[in-house]
Amino acid sequence: MISKKMEDALNQQINAELYSAYLYMAMSSYFEDKGLKGFAGWMKAQAQEEQYHAEKFYSYVNECAGRVIFKTIDAPPAEWDSPLAAFEAALAHEKKVTGLIYDLVNLAREEKDHATDNFLKWFVEEQVEEEDSVREVIDELKLIGNGGSGMFMLNRELGQRTFSPPAQAE
């Protein structure tokens, strides 16, 4: 059983994860419009991963006899100045999500909610990976500059990404 305060915080996190999925779908649409299908595919896989995170929180709240309450999801931006700007926005967003996860960990520890603290460990590790994967693309985009064959090759590389839920997380 989780406290009402923890239930509310986890519900806010579900909303944040769904917003993340919405944001990455908006970025995918932006890249599709720019003819960068590989970039679009990378963002779509990222959106699916965020949806998975929301479902993981959803299941946890229900397993703890809590109640999931859905709230309005804000509209994400639709335009960025460049592929680099979009990925920089993605990194800033991931850093924000990392802070939200840390806040949940702090709340779980404050409430001596060991089950939730343990549940959140997966997300703490996941955020390290999330930030690193976005930072990696940013570094490559900075090396490439404004286009050319490097952009073509990166577009092809990013298009190889697919999402499949981690087996151990089930």
Backbone angles phi, psi at 82, to 5 degrees: -170, 165
CA distances from 132 to 128, 159, 165 (A): 6, 18, 19
**Domain count within the chain:** 1
For 53-82, the pLDDT digits (tens) are 999 999 999 999 999 999 999 999 999 999
pLDDT at 168: 60
170 assigned to some structural domain: no
Q: What six digits make up the tokens of 146? A: 């404004």
169 vs 111: which has the higher pLDDT:
111
CATH number at residue 20: 1.20.1260.10
Structural domain boundaries enclosing 53:
4-163
Mean pLDDT (whole number) for 6-20: 98
Task: State how far the Cα of 55 lies from the Cα of 61, in Å rounded to an integer.
Answer: 10
Cβ-contact 94, 134 below 8 angstroms:
yes
Task: Enter the pTM of the model.
Answer: 0.93
Is residue 156 included in any domain, yes or no?
A: yes
DSSP structure class, residue 102: H
Q: Give the tens place of pLDDT for each residue, 114-147.
A: 999 999 999 999 999 999 999 999 999 999 987 7
> Please, which pLDDT band fits residue 169 given cuts at 50, 70 and 90?
very low
